[in-house]
Amino acid sequence: MTTTEIRAHADRLHRDRVPYVLATVVRAERPTSAKPGDSALVLPDGSIDGFVGGVCAESTVRLEGLRLLASGESELLRVTPSASEAVAPEGVRVVENPCLSGGTLEIFLEAVIPPVLVRVFGDSPIARAIAQVGTALDLDVQNDIDALRAVAPDTTAVVVAAHGRDEVPVLRTALDAQVPYVALVASPKRSAAVLTELDATDDERARIHAPAGLDIGARTPHEIALSIYAEIVARRPRASSSDETAATARVAPAEALDPVCGMTVAVSPASLSLAHKGVDWYFCGSGCREAFRDAPERYLASVGA
């Protein structure tokens, strides 16, 4: 895959709101098959498009890339075959890769996560202001004039600012899609009337922010938009440090130990694996997988299985 093809692929992923990690080789110490400037994309299923080294280096980049997709962070990764180098300088993550045939790679891994998605329904001045302010906040704001027929599963907010047009069906669609923040731009009196008309349970009505936004004395369309985004931010889930650890554990990639070389590898659809006596084993590359296939009991004994 050429650099131009990788960039085009990244553009398509961005348009489709698919997260990915851009891996770029910034330093290569011989002997390595990669060179500075080589790059690849790590996708959520563990597949890698592009080139950042041989199969063992690729296996390490896959695992680290999936970890970064879970955290949303970026890092400088040093992949080295020497255990003596496995002490990370500040700002660098060092991973020992015993499969490397000598040499060291430094790869910058940049996590590219889609921005928060906000759907705004309506063609009113307030609806347009919500779109403008959201864009300034680097959010992905989609302004819908026609009634919502489908809501993407990663939608963070649906704001109805249509001033009486098709409000009830749009609110119903947003509730059914389990959108975290659903709001109606209306006066307190009209908000109550719309919620009464809505076929919903009491719990569902309680999920709708009506009138929308925090009470900051907003008057102009842009001030109202600001109050709505302030409410979205204020109600964003916040976890304690222990909860953050638990949340990370829920989304972090599953990992396995290569029984042949001892490397930690990602458990993903794109990882090399082999079933043996009803157990799936994962490998850094085809060499380790073939060695295991030829003499599984030898390697199972070494890992105590």
| 220-227 contacts at long range (C-beta below 8 A, 24 or more positions apart) | 220/129, 221/124, 221/125, 221/126, 221/128, 221/129, 222/129, 222/132, 222/133, 224/126, 224/129, 224/130, 224/185, 225/126, 225/129, 225/130, 225/132, 225/133, 225/134, 226/133
Within a domain: 43: yes
The answer on 107 and 33 residing in a single domain is yes
Last residue of a domain, one of 69, 86, 112: 112
Dump pLDDT digits (tens) for 78-125.
998 875 655 567 789 888 887 766 678 999 999 999 999 999 999 999
The answer on 144 and 108 residing in a single domain is no
134 phi and psi angles, rounded to 5 deg? -65, -40
Within a domain: 163: yes
The answer on 199 and 156 residing in a single domain is yes
The answer on 41 and 139 residing in a single domain is no
Dump pLDDT digits (tens) for 182-216.
999 999 999 999 999 999 999 999 999 999 999 99
**CATH number where 154 lies:** 3.40.50.720
Structural domain harbouring 265: 252-302
Whether 256 shows a pLDDT value over 90: the answer reads yes
Number of structural domains (the chain) is 3
The answer on 291 and 227 residing in a single domain is no
Measured distance CA(276)–CA(259) in Å, rounded: 12
Dump pLDDT digits (tens) for 124-166.
999 999 999 999 999 999 988 776 677 888 999 999 999 888 8
Within a domain: 25: yes
pTM of the model: 0.78
What pLDDT band is residue 249 in, cutting at 50, 70 and 90? very low
Tokens of 206: 């309680």
Last residue of a domain, one of 83, 112, 141: 112
Last residue of a domain, one of 206, 234, 262: 234
What pLDDT band is residue 250 in, cutting at 50, 70 and 90? very low
Within a domain: 45: yes
The answer on 128 and 24 residing in a single domain is no
The answer on 86 and 32 residing in a single domain is yes
Within a domain: 242: no
Within a domain: 245: no
**pLDDT recorded at residue 150:** 78
